[in-house]
Amino acid sequence: MKLSALLIALTFLCSSYRVPIDTNDLVGSWKVVEFDSHTPELSPVLIKQAEAVALSTEYELNADHSCKVLYMGEIKEGKWSYNPENQELNMQFAEDGSGKDVHQILSLENGKMKTKQDVGELGYINFVLQKQ
């Protein structure tokens, strides 16, 4: 009984532990290299199209917190921030609040960043970005 309680507590502690992320490690150019959709209500055709767009996407996060995103030949400029409380990388591409891109950083190591993007009731999407 004590062993199972210890295992449950250890599992909880390990799953809730977050490795601190230094914002300096976020600065640089990043390319989306993997896309994994968990959106069961969406059409497979739509998911394939979203994957093609995602895999063509590159982000540039600058030390002054300006950013650029390049996808499908279009460039958008904006600002980025990182919230260590919830490990969210926020990119804002329009002054009015539209054009927002939010990723929860799941891990960041060896030049790879794994993120999760919540898409509301539709589900979520996991990405892997490779530092260029």
Flag whether pLDDT at 31 surpasses 90. Answer: yes
pLDDT at 62: 98
pLDDT at 92: 94
**pLDDT tens string 53-88:** 999 999 999 999 999 999 888 999 999 999 999 999
Q: pTM of the full predicted structure? A: 0.81
**pLDDT tens string 7-21:** 344 444 444 445 689
Domain boundaries, the chain: 23-131
- Other Cβ atoms less than 10 A from the Cβ of 88: the count is 16
Fold category of 23-131 in CATH? Lipocalin (2.40.128)
Name the pairing type of β-strands 124-131 and 112-118.
antiparallel
Spatial CA neighbour of 118 closest among 76, 90, 97: 90
Please tell me the distance from the alpha carbon of residue 15 to that of residue 66, in angstroms, as a whole number.
32
Query: In the chain, which residue ranges form alpha helices assigned H by DSSP?
Result: 2-16, 44-55
